[in-house]
Structure 1
Amino acid sequence: MPPSEETLAERAYRLIEDQIIRLVLPPGARLTEQELAARLDIGRTPVREALQRLVNDGLVVVFPRKGIAVSVINPLDVLMALEVRSALERLVAGAAARRANAAVKAELTELGERLVATAATANVDAFMQLDKTIHRRLGQTAANPFLVRALAPLEAMARRARFYFLRDDDLAPSAELHRAVIGRVVAGDSAAAEAASEALVDYLRSGIKRTVVGM
């Protein structure tokens, strides 16, 4: 099978994860394999496999004799996850700075500029998709599959929390902090890239705390 070809289970996972992260399937929503299979036009077996992965990621919970539900968003859990993500993202940024070639540097620079421009339009969906693309590209550039796999569920949790806690004034500062990370990676300065990555996660952490206090 070509590497780019998705299995049905992978497609089901991607689609369900996306709907959970964007809150189309909100926290606490009850799920059934049959309903999800109909919604996605995918068989129940791939949906069952996808749900098991989502349980492992912490996005879905199973209640004995009560069924399956989208997990609630606990700010404390998100903040603890961000502590771990901060350490892993530093490793990604540092490795990417050491390994990025000229073509990757140009691509990352363009993505950073697009993110800043998208922030100005207040298009949250487009912004979050670009954010995901940037982090995926940095992970690919870091060239450490173990690191990427460890980060994946933490990134999913963080993206969902951002949709949930997002404030109107969050996009532009976040975009600039992303651009700062990219700038350090492009410069090949691994220590500065790690510091910029930590500053980005710190901003996300403080934004969640700020929003929770204002609720």
Structure 2
Amino acid sequence: MRAPVNTAASGSAPSLAEQAYLAIRDRLVMLEIPPGSPINEDRLSGELEFGRTPVREALKRLEKERLVVAFPRRGTFATDVHISDLAYISEVRRTIEPMSAAAAAERATAADRDTLAGLRERLAVAGETDSTAELLRMDLAAHRAVYRCVHNPFLEDTLLTYDNLATRIWGVFLPRLSGVAGHVGEHVPLLTKIIDGDSGAAAELALRHVTGFENAIRALI
């Protein structure tokens, strides 16, 4: 069944290729399509109720984002998750995440701040769920909400790309991680600082969050 999609920022409905991209992207990020597994275009088209053309366009875009890889005469596969990539991904995120949090605090509209406040309420009770998949979705929702407040489509695309890659690493190690709810709960003070317009504190909390994620994964290696 076709998954629901968000309305584009402009208010116009996303194209079929965009809808297919969003649906397949999140299956990959959430590891519902396991790393290294083959991508069956016909099956995806049927499950998501899209034609093959939107699915193919989506896969081409996902290949550029390192979520899938295509091999001549072999087909398309979900990329493997390599822990060796953690250092590279974290190096980028330590730079852009604090910058984006500060920009969000400065640029968020009144509507943005209302959205963040509602999300903050849901995150405040993150510890009440036993579902690691739900915690992972909440973490994604928090990051993506902050990125939208930056109001810079080029920076937002970059932030999403690296957060998606980091989330796949987290998903692989999630069964062995402790304190996941606490990690997700770290977004509560971050969202508060963005809502309050405190760019300096928001940047500091974002850096602490990214660094904490990297350290938690490294502790398991």
Task: Indicate whether the TM-score tops 0.5.
Answer: yes
**Structure 2 counterpart of 1:135:** 143
1:146 shift after superposition: 1.6
- For 1:132 and 1:28, how far apart are their aligned partners in 2? 22
Matches within 5 A, 1:126-205: 126-166=134-174, 167=176, 169-205=178-214
* Residue deviations 1:21-64 (CA, integer Å, cap 9, x gap): 22221011012322322232211111110100110010101122
- Partner of 1:31, secondary structure, is coil
* CA-to-aligned-CA distance 1:166-199 (integer Å, 9 cap, x gap): 1452322213321121122233221111110000
User: Residue 30 of structure 1 aligns to a residue in which SS?
Assistant: coil
DSSP-derived class of the 2:161 partner = helix
Rounded Cα–Cα distance in structure 1 between residues aligned with 2:75 and 2:184: 39
Which structure has more helix as a fraction of its residues? Answer: 1
User: Could you tell me whether the CA contact under 8 Å between 1:116 and 1:175 is conserved in 2?
Assistant: no
C-alpha distance in structure 1 between counterparts of 2:55 and 2:112, whole Å: 35
| CA shift for structure 1 position 124 | 2.5
TM-score, normalized by length of structure 1? 0.89
Q: Tell me the distance in 2 between the aligned counterparts of 1:99 and 1:54.
A: 29
Q: CA RMSD in A?
A: 2.1
1:116 is matched with which residue? 124
Name the CA distance, whole Å, in 1 between partners of 2:87 and 2:34: 20
- Report the equivalent of 2:60: 52
Change in 2 beyond 3 A, CA 1:102/1:169? same
After alignment, is 154-163 or 119-128 more displaced?
119-128
Partner of 1:3: 11
The residue type equivalent to 1:90 in the other structure is: P
Cα gap change, 1:176/1:56 in structure 2, threshold over 3 Å: closer, same or farther?
Answer: same
**Per-residue deviation, 1:126:** 2.7
* % identical equivalent positions: 35
More displaced stretch, 99-108 vs 136-145: 99-108
Instruction: Point out where structure 2 has 5 or more consecutive residues left out of the alignment.
Output: 1-7
Taking the aligned partners of 2:75 and 2:110, their CA distance within structure 1 comes to 50
Runs of 5+ consecutive residues of structure 1 not aligned to the other structure: none
Conserved? CA contact 1:112–1:175, under 8 Å? no
- TM-score, with length taken from structure 2: 0.86
